[in-house]
Amino acid sequence: MQLAVIPTMYPDESNIGYALRLAMRNGFTYIDRMIPKSLINRIVRGHEVSLSSDIQFYAKSHKLKRAYIKTPLFELATQIEPKICLRCIHEKGYINSEVQCPFTHQCSEHREPLIDKCGSCNHPLTWDITLLKGRCSSPLCGLELTPLRSHSFTSLSESQVADCLLISYFINNLDEPFVKRNRFASIPNYQERVKDGYELLNNLNFARELVYKSINKFSDLYPLNFAGTSLNILFKNLKNIWPASCVIQQHDKIARINFSNEILPLYVHNEVACELLALPRHKMQLLLDHGLVKTKRGTNLHHNTPVDVSPVIKLLTGYNKTNKMKCLSGMTEVLYRGNIDLSDIILAIKDKTLIIGFQAGSDLISSVYCNPKDLKKLSNDLRLGLKHKPLSIINPSIKSVVHTSPSNKRVKASANIYQLDLNI
């Protein structure tokens, strides 16, 4: 690319801001007349881009290094949508790189809220040359941008902004909160989200309403820690103490009034699903193989694969407890001695070799009841017959045989060898 003017980049200038300045100085009206959109997207994300031997964009590292601003929403602290400081533009003529930090809601120099949309047409700003002239980037508008009216809060720390964005995301994604984690921060309507989050975190009534809605989205057939799992994640990820913190933390005190028989899907990351079902990860794979949990696609589980745990609850809710049954949480010694975990119980229920009763409690183990004799029988069966344990679980090496060789003989031979080992 041959350009007449190549200005020097300021040390604190953002890559995309420099690209806009480069285009403006060379007489372009729109950035995409000079750089293809695919490259603009890479520049916005801080990737290394070379336009020619003398126009290089070096990679900007936006890793979330500081522990206090880690968030379940995105991995890298680079925001895709623009927000700008008008005073910086009028006084300095360039766009500072700090505006791309998702936790920066105001200019650190001028202490003014960053502008993310046009006050006249309400259109969200896009990365284009008009921003450097302090004008709206919508081709239908192009009017001069005006400073945003200050919020009731004057200045928030980065970690406070992170909290506001987190709870605002939670409000807007009650169906599946924290299941999707993007690589880059995409936060349309940025200032409104910060404001909404701030209001909720400071208002006990709003917070109670949110917690109530979130818990009662799920039928009371779900154990309480299942219904409150996203509130737990929300609370764990708040970096500051807010008036609402206590309400969110004590969500188990909220009355459950959803008595519906409908078991809605409940997607959580695999590692959270393992916690809810008190299982190691390879046992979750076993439940997936038996259709007792679901994934959106694929059959391989990673720690952050979204897993729907509702099929397990659907399986359990059909059974009523009788007087002879005891809660599993009161028989942990039998479970421990028999090396039984909840996957063994769940699979035995599915195979109808264990009769249980179900009454939702605080967690799964305190929701399942059975006759102690039946549990001991299951323990013996498992010890003698290796019931429910698929080859891949018994011995991981067998899995590779299954995958690499179609020979059933070899699989059986391996299984027999293992069986012999155990008998010895």
Residues at the site binding Zn ion, with contacts judged by CB under 5 A: 85, 87-88, 107, 109-110, 118, 120-121, 123, 136, 138, 141
Quick one: 128 or 163, whose CB is closer to Zn ion? 128
Closest CB 170 distance from Zn ion, rounded Å: 30
Q: In DSSP terms, which residues pair with 368 in a beta bridge?
A: 358
Query: What is the C-alpha separation between 400 and 403, in angstroms, rounded?
Result: 5
**Choice between 136 and 331, CB closer to Zn ion:** 136
Q: Which is nearer to Zn ion, 85 or 364 (CB)?
A: 85
Tell me the closest approach of the beta carbon of residue 119 to Zn ion, in angstroms: 8
Mind giving me the DSSP string for 182-207?
BSSB--TTHHHHHHHHHHHHT-HHHH
Q: CB of 148: closest distance to Zn ion in angstroms?
A: 12
Tokens of 258: 């959803």
| Cα–Cα distance for residue pair 104/99, rounded to 1 Å | 6
**Radius of gyration over every alpha carbon of the chain, rounded to an integer in angstroms:** 28
* Residue in the structure block whose two tokens are 């969500």: 251
Closest CB to Zn ion among residues 106, 310: 106
Question: Can you read off the two tokens belonging to residue 97?
Answer: 């790189």
With both helix axes pointing from N to C terminus, report the angle between 408-423 and 396-404 in degrees, rounded to the nearest 10: 170
Residue with smaller CB distance to Zn ion, 130 or 230: 130
Distance between CA atoms of residues 236 and 343, nearest Å:
27
β-bridge mates for residue 115, sequence order: 84
Choice between 112 and 381, CB closer to Zn ion: 112
218 vs 51, 225, 236, 248, 259, CA distance in Å? 53, 11, 21, 17, 9
Which CB, 49 or 88, lies closer to Zn ion?
88
The least CB distance from residue 238 to Zn ion, in Å, is: 29
Least Cβ distance, residue 118 to Zn ion (angstroms): 3
What kind and span of H or E run contains 122?
none
- If the CB atoms of residues 60 and 123 are measured against Zn ion, the closer one turns out to be 123
Nearest approach, Cβ of residue 187 and Zn ion (Å): 20
CB atoms under 10 Å from CB of 367, counted, come to 26
The distance of closest approach from Cβ of residue 131 to Zn ion in the complex, given in angstroms and rounded to an integer, is 12
Q: How far is the CB of 145 from Zn ion (least distance, A)?
A: 8
Q: Tell me if residue 409 falls in helix, strand or coil.
A: helix
Non-local CB neighbours of 46 within 8 Å, separated by 6+ positions: 15, 59, 60, 61, 62, 76, 78, 100
